[in-house]
């Protein structure tokens, strides 16, 4: 299918033509301007055609040109300011975006845009008091631009080259749309520079934003804080302990007290920036403050990008178990900025591959093929060279595919009453390991061992053959993930697995496979089989 690499929309004077040309030149793509194409086909200038035939005739001709180019042009295409207001063009842009296209809304500083529009002249829509007309049109068009676009680029203070680079950066993003019963639709954006979307995801409603993060991601929280303050938000910087130590009722209570002191209302917002434990806690705080306020997740680890940040599970740990207290509360958006991976230590990156592999085992075998083909490079991940390495697009694809697996399950079952339980492959035993290790073991590593345990259960229950168990061990080991564990007793592990959220009364319930891409429930396996599987993963 031939379609534009990007479609640029925005108000008169926003710089659509100039920046579109700059972007096309940087990427080696052709460029088309809808107004120029329209004048060529009409055989006269737009002001003259407008004067002779009126706006309705002009919009019909514009519609035909835009829809034709959208279906046949493989470059950068800039639309006239009023084109997206035509219903047929809106439908065409929606279809283009749904097929993976990027509609870029250039949001320029109003004063700069009005000045450029006045200088340009030849704009029938600005006849009379040009500035007043521009403002009126902006009030009418801005909501429509935001509705039809899937990328917003703010250009205030940027040179044309810098703005064009920002546009290129943003169209390289992967976008996964999340919807379903009980879910207010939101997007997961995956790409270098995704944090730039923070103001657009938060919207104009919040005055105060609580930026919850850990000390270890200070560099990224500094960037987020700058973006938020530049957009006009009052930012409260809230630092929490790293990893699972930050996911406690004591930490949550401290944040509630601070939100109360600083006057956070129902219209304000929370941003969670950090690993999975941080985004879990931030979501829980947002879900419980005044019975629910807007929040955005900005995951900074591979594990958080592929798991904790998406799906609307929020929670804290208790001495009795992991994530036993929480709620289902979906974010306004998830911004997985690949730049944050550049500061990630190798071991923390590698543990995230456990959740990636899980998604391949339960739903998308292509993930497993990608992991196999790049195992050496993934295992040797080096954050310092990551952004300029051939590994970056591989990791971006793995993240997007894994998020799509999660969205497939979450969209159909937000509150984990059926299909979503399959996302817990490897988690029943994995969570038990985390508990017995007092959370010194990282989640992805525990899940890797949990998957081997689940594979052993499935083999001993006659669901899979030994080759698939061996494949679990060989693939996970090739990625640098553990496949065995030797601490704790069987009785202790059994007791903790009985507390698992999937358990029903006194009956153990596991997610296992009866083939790659086909998870099933295993209810109440024989005690002998559970014990033998436990012994099989002992290091």
304 is in an annotated binding site: no
Cβ atoms of residues 362 and 519 within 8 Å = yes
> How many Cα atoms within 13 Å fall on the side-chain side of residue 187?
18
Return the half-sphere exposure (C-beta side, CA atoms, 13 A cut-off) of residue 443. Answer: 22
- 248 marked among binding-site residues: no
User: Known catalytic residue: 53?
Assistant: no
DSSP 237: E
Residue 477, exposed/middle/buried by CB under 10 A (0-12, 13-18, 19+)?
middle
What separation, in Å, do the N-terminal and C-terminal C-alpha atoms of the chain show?
A: 52
Residues 19 and 346: their CA atoms lie apart, in Å, by: 38
* Known catalytic residue at 313: yes
Element (H, E) at 188: strand 183-191
According to DSSP, residue 500 is labeled: S
Instruction: Tell whether 123 is in a known binding site.
Output: yes
Indicate which residue of 223, 404, 420, 459 is catalytic: 420
Catalytic, out of 62, 355, 421, 456: 355
Q: Is 82 annotated as a binding residue?
A: no
Confirm whether residue 483 is marked as ligand binding.
no
Q: What is the DSSP string of 245-294?
A: GGSSHHHHHHHHHHHHHTT--TT-EEEEEESHHHHHHHHHHHHHGGG--E
Q: Let me know: does 273 contact 224? Beta carbons within 8 Å.
A: yes
280 is in an annotated binding site: yes
CA atoms of 5 and 3, how far apart (whole Å): 7
Q: Which of 317, 323, 424, 445 is catalytic?
A: 424
The reply to whether 420 belongs to the active site is yes
333 is in an annotated binding site: no
Q: Which of 443, 459, 472, 473 is catalytic?
A: 443
- For the question of residue 443 being annotated catalytic, the response is yes
Catalytic residue, chosen from 406, 408, 409, 472, is 406
* 14 annotated ligand binder: yes
246 is in an annotated binding site: yes
Residue 355 annotated to the active site: yes
Q: Residue 129 annotated as binding?
A: no
Is 355 labelled as part of a ligand binding site? yes
Q: Is 528 annotated as a binding residue?
A: no
Active-site residue among 313, 339, 358, 404?
313
The answer to whether 18 is annotated as binding is yes
Choosing from 21, 32, 427, 442, the catalytic residue is 427
What DSSP element (H or E) covers 337? strand 333-337
16, 124, 138: which is closest to 77 by C-alpha?
16
Backbone Cα Rg of the chain: 26
313 is in an annotated binding site: yes
Q: Is 499 annotated as a binding residue?
A: no
Q: Which of 401, 431, 459, 509 is catalytic?
A: 431
In 3D space, the residue among 444, 512, 198, 482 whose CA is nearest the CA of residue 306 turns out to be 444
369 a catalytic residue: no
| Residue of 119, 139, 261, 291 marked catalytic | 291
427 carries a ligand binding annotation: yes
279 labelled ligand-binding:
yes
**Annotated binding residue 48:** no
Full DSSP string of 121-141: ---GGG-SSHHHHHHHHHHHH
Q: Is residue 192 a known part of a binding site?
A: no
The one catalytic residue in 22, 192, 400, 416 is: 416
Binding residues are: 13-18, 35, 59, 81, 123, 141, 242-247, 276-280, 300-301, 313, 322, 340-343, 355, 427, 443
Annotated binding site for substrate: 35, 59, 81, 141
Known binding-site residue numbers for Mg(2+): 17
* Positions marked catalytic: 291, 313, 355, 406, 416, 420, 424, 427, 431, 443
For the annotated binding site for Zn(2+), the residues are 355, 427, 443
Residue ranges of the binding site for ATP: 13-18, 123
């Amino acid at each position: 299918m031939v379609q534009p690499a990007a479609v640029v929309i925005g108000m008169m004077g926003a710089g659509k033509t100039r920046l579109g040309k700059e972007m096309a030149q940087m990427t080696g793509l052709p460029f088309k301007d809808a107004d120029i194409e329209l004048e060529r086909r009409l055989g006269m200038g737009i002001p003259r055609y407008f004067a002779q035939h009126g706006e309705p005739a002009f919009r019909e001709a514009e519609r035909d040109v835009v829809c034709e180019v959208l279906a046949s042009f493989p470059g950068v295409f800039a639309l006239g300011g009023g084109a997206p207001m035509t219903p047929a063009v809106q439908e065409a842009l929606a279809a283009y975006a749904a097929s993976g296209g990027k509609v870029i809304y250039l949001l320029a500083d109003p004063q700069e845009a009005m000045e450029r529009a006045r200088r340009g002249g030849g704009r029938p829509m600005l006849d009379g008091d040009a500035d007043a007309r521009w403002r009126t049109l902006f009030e009418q068009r801005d909501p429509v631009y935001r509705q039809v676009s899937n990328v917003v680029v703010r250009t205030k203070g940027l040179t044309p080259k810098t703005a064009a680079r920002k546009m290129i950066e943003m169209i390289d993003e992967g976008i996964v749309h999340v919807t379903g019963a009980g879910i207010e639709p939101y997007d997961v954006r995956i790409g270098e520079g995704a944090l730039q979307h923070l103001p657009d995801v938060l919207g104009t409603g919040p005055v105060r934003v609580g930026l919850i993060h850990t000390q270890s991601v200070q560099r990224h929280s500094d960037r987020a804080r700058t973006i938020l303050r530049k957009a006009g938000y009052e930012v409260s910087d809230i630092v929490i302990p790293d990893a699972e130590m930050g996911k406690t009722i004591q930490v949550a209570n401290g944040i509630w007290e601070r939100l109360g002191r600083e006057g956070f209302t129902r219209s304000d917002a929370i941003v969670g920036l950090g690993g999975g434990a941080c985004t879990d806690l931030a979501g829980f705080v947002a879900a419980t403050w005044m019975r629910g306020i807007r929040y955005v997740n900005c995951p900074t680890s591979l594990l958080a990008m592929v798991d904790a940040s998406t799906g609307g599970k929020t929670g804290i740990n208790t001495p009795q178990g992991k994530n036993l207290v929480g709620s289902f509360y979906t974010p306004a958006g998830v911004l997985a900025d690949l730049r944050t991976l550049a500061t990630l230590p190798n071991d923390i990156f590698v543990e995230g591959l456990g959740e990636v592999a899980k998604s391949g085992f339960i739903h998308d075998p292509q993930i497993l093929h990608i992991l196999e083909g790049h195992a050496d490079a993934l295992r040797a991940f080096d954050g310092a060279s990551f952004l300029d390495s051939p590994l970056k697009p591989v990791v971006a694809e793995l993240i997007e595919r894994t998020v799509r697996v999660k969205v497939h399950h979450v969209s159909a079952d937000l509150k984990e009453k059926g299909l979503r339980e399959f996302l817990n492959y490897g988690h029943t035993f994995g969570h038990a390991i985390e508990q017995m290790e007092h959370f010194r073991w990282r989640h992805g590593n525990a899940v890797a061992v949990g998957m081997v345990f689940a594979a052993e259960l499935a083999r001993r229950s006659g669901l899979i053959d030994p080759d698939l168990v061996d494949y679990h061990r060989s693939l996970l080991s090739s990625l640098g993930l553990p496949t065995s564990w030797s601490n704790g007793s069987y009785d202790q592990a059994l007791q903790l697995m009985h507390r698992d959220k999937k358990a029903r009364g006194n009956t153990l319930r596991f997610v296992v496979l009866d083939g790659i891409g086909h998870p099933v429930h295993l209810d109440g396996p024989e005690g002998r089989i559970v014990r033998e599987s436990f012994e099989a993963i002992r290091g």
